[in-house]
Structure 1
Amino acid sequence: MARNRRLILTSPSEVWSLLADGRRYGEWVTGTQRILAADAHWPEVGARLQVRVGVGALTLDDTCVVRICEPERRLELEARADPFGAARIAMTLLPWGDATLLTIDWHPLRGPGIRMHGLPVDYVVKVRNGMMLTKLARIAVNEGRRPLSRASAP
């Protein structure tokens, strides 16, 4: 499992507003080239987000399905990218003073990713997820939200 944590200097409701907007995933999810479709009821359980991921001309279409949704607290997705299988992506928001501690856990569920699971793959996913959290934090703070001073964050 690859696990990343990031203190985001804005409230859980502000962070959630980004997670709850499926059309904006391409802004912060590393590797997303474009959003192909987002169900209108995203992020309710069962909602789907279809994205094109890749680097340059090497692309594939991916579908994310919401498996668990607890607004402003927890969002768990199943990302399917055939022929590579599927992975569980769990995002947990924890209030931390006026800020948010966001944790992302990634774990392969099925397909070749299970056989390749381990230190090298987890390291690459951890780097990717770290980049995603950095982008998400920047967007959350820059969108007219009042950034917290470092002194006010525990």
Structure 2
Amino acid sequence: MAVVEKVVPVSADRVFAVLADGWTYSDWVVGTAHIRDVDTDWPAPGSHIYHQAAGWPLALKDKTVAVSCDPPHELVMRPHLWPFGELTVRLRLTALSPQETKVTLAEEFAAGPLRWTRNKLDDLLLHYRNREALRRLAELAARRFA
């Protein structure tokens, strides 16, 4: 499992507001190229973000499903990237102060062929990808409410 953490200089409510806006998903999730649609009740459990991952010629049209949601503390999602598989992503927000939040992102392959190829290299690649995702998330949260 790849786990990364970042302390961001905004409240947990502000960070969660970005997560709750499914239209920002491609702005912070590395590898997502385009949002095609977002269910109106996102991030309620069972709701979807319909996206396109990667770019031409490997553009994959798929979805991410909200598994559980506890605003502003946690969001668990299940990104689908078939034919490669599915991931489980857990974002946990811990308020360190009224204006500072620790964001923990844990991601692992949950289904499909990639689940069986998991190794240290996969974890390393996910680690670097997720560090960049948290950097982007922090920037969006800070900029959105500035």
**Coarse TM-score class (shorter-chain normalised):** over 0.9
Where 1:16 maps in the other structure, the secondary structure is helix
Q: CA deviation at 1:57?
A: 3.1
- 1:13 Cα deviation after fit: 0.4
- Counterpart of 1:140? 141
Counterpart code for 2:5: R
Percentage identity across paired residues of the two chains: 28
Which segments of 5 or more consecutive residues in structure 2 lack a partner in the other structure? none
- Look at both structures and tell me which one has the larger radius of gyration over its CA atoms: 1
1:39 partner letter: D
User: Aligned ranges for residues 1-154 of structure 1 at < 5 Å?
Assistant: 1-97=1-97, 98-145=99-146
Per-residue CA shift, 1:63-108, capped at 9, x if unaligned? 1111110010000001111111111000000001221100000011
Q: How many residues align?
A: 145
User: Superposition RMSD on alpha carbons, in Å?
Assistant: 1.1
Structure 1, unaligned stretches of length 5 or more? Answer: 146-154
**Pair 1:144–1:35, CA change in 2 (3 A):** same
Letter in 1 for 2:67: R
**Inter-partner Cα distance in structure 1 for 2:135 and 2:56:** 22
Question: 2:47 touches 2:66 (CA, 8 Å); kept in 1?
Answer: yes
- Residue by residue over 1:3-33, the C-alpha shift from the partner in whole angstroms, topping out at 9 and shown as x without a partner, is 0101010000000100000011111111111
CA distance in 2, matches of 1:92, 1:99: 14
CA–CA distance in structure 2, aligned partners of residues 131 and 48 of structure 1: 23
Letter in 2 for 1:49: I
| Secondary structure, aligned partner of 1:82 | coil
CA distance in 2, matches of 1:63, 1:86: 10
Provide TM-score, normalisation by structure 2.
0.95
Q: 1-side partners of 2:96 and 2:57: how far apart?
A: 41
Q: What amino acid is aligned across from residue 119 of structure 1 in structure 2?
A: K
Instruction: Tell me, in whole angstroms, the C-alpha distance in 2 between the residues paired with 1:72 and 1:64.
Output: 19
